[in-house]
Amino acid sequence: MSLSFVSIGQIERGDLRIQEHPAEVKKLMDGDKIDLFEVRRTTNFLTNFDITEYQDLALSKRKKAFVRHIKHISEKLEWAHLNDEKVNSELIELMYELVFFEKSMKEDAVLNSLDPKSWKVKSAMFKSVHRSRRIFKYRPNHIANMEPQESPFYHHVPAKNKTFDKLAKSKKIKAKKRMVILFKGLSYSGSAPKIKGLDLDYDNEWSLKWGDEVHTDVFGSRIFAAMGYDVDHPYYYGKDKLTLVFDGSRSVKNVDQLVDSVLLTFKVDLEPFISSFGEVSDSMALEHKKLAPYVGMQYVRFLKCAIEGRPDRVKRIGPTMPNDDMNVDRLELRGALLLHAFIGNWDTRVENTCLTTVHDGNYNYRMSAKFSDLGTSMGVKMSSIPPDFKVGLVNQLPWEVFKIKEDKIKMKHEINSILTPYEEASYHDLYWMAQKIESIDSVELQKMINEASWPEPISVLFFQKMASRRANILAAFEIADTHPITFDKEISVAEDGEIIVEYGKLVVDYKRDENPESFLRKKGRTRNYGN
């Protein structure tokens, strides 16, 4: 399958003149030929391990697979130059890829230099949140019938519920019903408490997470995958379904040290999430043969958690959307604004997009741009005094996405970073995404909610609200609903004679002993957000 970096209309068939968007590759050209000096300069920046800084900022360590990927591209361009070839669409895409990786690496260095708790960062998020309340207003206009090409940004997905699993399979991610992972190290990024883990064969990595995102990230990632985007791969694990083993060689050697480290780093008490702990026994090793080398070592299990695949064949380079005009004319990126609004995702910073190089085997590499960390969604509550942040609060998720007037629709959604494609999103871009959201039927929506594993009463209420939000989006864009999903804004749910949901609102702090993050309590976390 041919994947295109160039959007519809950028290069006309039979006309290889480089127009506005592919101008990014002009620096690698000399007239209608390849500028070999600039290609080599860019390749050297991307592959030279001795180049460790950009504008006095530290560059992330280059991965060997990424270096091989870049060298493959460079070799093709060198060969074309040697054969005195004129620039064609294939060569444009190779040069575009080089420039895109270069921009992503540089942006990554800039982002890594920022202190997420600094006034500058917090102020920028604060301003974006308040500005987003005002600017996303649209007047209906003529709709052009356009669909993005297959590209590293977007794929056509006829079988929506299978898309997430298909993507995971292509990356060799294997999440079993019961998981055993080794503690690798602490994680210091983001605001949700998490650590790094390893498969027992030391092959692939996992990110292990607790708290209010263990359901929301699972759901949000599957929605984005169903709409044609590449994503991270989070999985929910219930009580005792995941075992974390300490091999004694790392900085954290037991459950007490884990609790202390998470509290120190994330200001979150992990103890309520722990279900059991002890030493790996002979009987455990008989049940799971790969545990044999770890008999006598410490382990811990949890009431609930989520793990996210970090497969060896996928290497992260930097953000997908450097905040400039490089990808502003991509319909699929502009339209993603509505998908963020659909799931109520608040954290849209460029850090939560990810440019990757994927090894498909036999030294075949490809680039893929994905949406990452979609867990800050499904009902967000933020307060400045005292500083606090919480997600997954079902009562905080509005029943509607748009406020509809006769001549205008206004998006009722806040985001903490208004990236250039979102700033430039038009009525047409959102209409395109609304059509894709219309294709979600009740069966597909229910399956994705089931994957998130919310407790039954909360799951029922989230289904009702997402069905309502879908209907509101279709009404706003006057799109006929070919398979309406029934919902009830005044739904009530009882369990064992107790009212859990009353008139469309969760009224009980449901089974707090089993759900320590709480779906009702608004106190959450204070780390790394612009509040």
Residue 12 reports pLDDT greater than 60: no
Work out the angle between the directed axes of helices 89-113 and 36-47 (0-180°, nearest 10).
40
| pLDDT value for 324 | 62
Predicted confidence at residue 22, as pLDDT, reads 59
Tell me: pLDDT of 242 over 50.
Answer: yes
| DSSP 8-state assignment for residue 189 | S
Cis peptide preceding 386, ω within 30 of 0: yes
Rounded alpha-carbon distances, angstroms, from residue 151 to 124, 156, 255: 31, 10, 44
Per-residue confidence at 2, pLDDT binned at 50, 70, 90? very low
- Distance (Å, rounded) from C-alpha 21 to C-alpha 186? 41
Burial state string for 139-162 with b = 16 or more CB within 10 A and e = fewer than 16: eeeeeeeeebbebbbbbebeebbe
pTM, two decimal places: 0.93
Q: What integer is the mean pLDDT of 306-324?
A: 87
Cβ 187 vs Cβ 172: under 8 Å: no
pLDDT of 329 higher than 60: yes
pLDDT higher than threshold 50 for residue 138: yes
**Looking at the DSSP assignment, which residues form a beta bridge with residue 403?**
410
Q: What strands, in cross-sheet order, belong to the sheet with 409-411? A: 137-138, 409-411, 402-404
Residue 377's nearest CA partner among 361, 396, 358, 360 is 396
Cα–Cα distance list, 374 to 61, 352, 356, 371, 399 (Å): 25, 8, 17, 7, 19
pLDDT tens per residue across span 342-356: 999 999 999 999 999
Provide the mean pLDDT of the chain.
Answer: 90
204 near 141, Cβ under 8 Å? no
Is pLDDT of 383 > 80?
no
Q: What mean pLDDT is predicted for residues 71-91?
A: 93
pLDDT digits (tens, 9 = 90+) for 435-488: 999 999 999 999 999 999 999 999 999 999 999 999 999 999 999 999 999 999
Please choose, from the candidates 372, 332, 322, the residue with its C-alpha nearest in 3D space to the C-alpha of residue 352: 372
Q: What is the pLDDT of residue 18?
A: 33
Report pLDDT for 405: 87
pLDDT score for 236: 98
Give me the pLDDT at residue 120, please.
Answer: 84
The number of CA neighbours under 13 Å toward the Cβ of 8 is: 10
Q: Which strand ranges, in their side-by-side order, compose the sheet holding 179-186? A: 234-237, 305-310, 205-209, 194-198, 179-186, 242-245, 298-302, 274-279
Query: Which of 423-443 are b and which e, b meaning 16 or more Cβ less than 10 Å from the residue's Cβ?
Result: eebebbbbbbbbbbbbebeee
The rounded distance, in Å, linking the Cα atoms of 239 and 242 is: 8
Q: Whose CA is closest to 398, among 416, 382, 384, 378?
A: 378
What the block records as the tokens of 128 is: 């974006």
pLDDT at 19: 37
- Measure the CA–CA gap between 457 and 18, rounded to whole angstroms: 55
pLDDT at 526: 66
Q: Summarize the confidence of residues 350-378 as an average pLDDT.
A: 93
Q: What is the pLDDT of residues 165-202, one digit of tens each?
A: 999 999 999 899 999 999 999 988 777 899 999 998 77
pLDDT of residue 528: 55
Hey, CA dihedral for 170, 172, 173, 175, is it positive or negative? positive
What local confidence, expressed as pLDDT, does residue 466 receive? 98
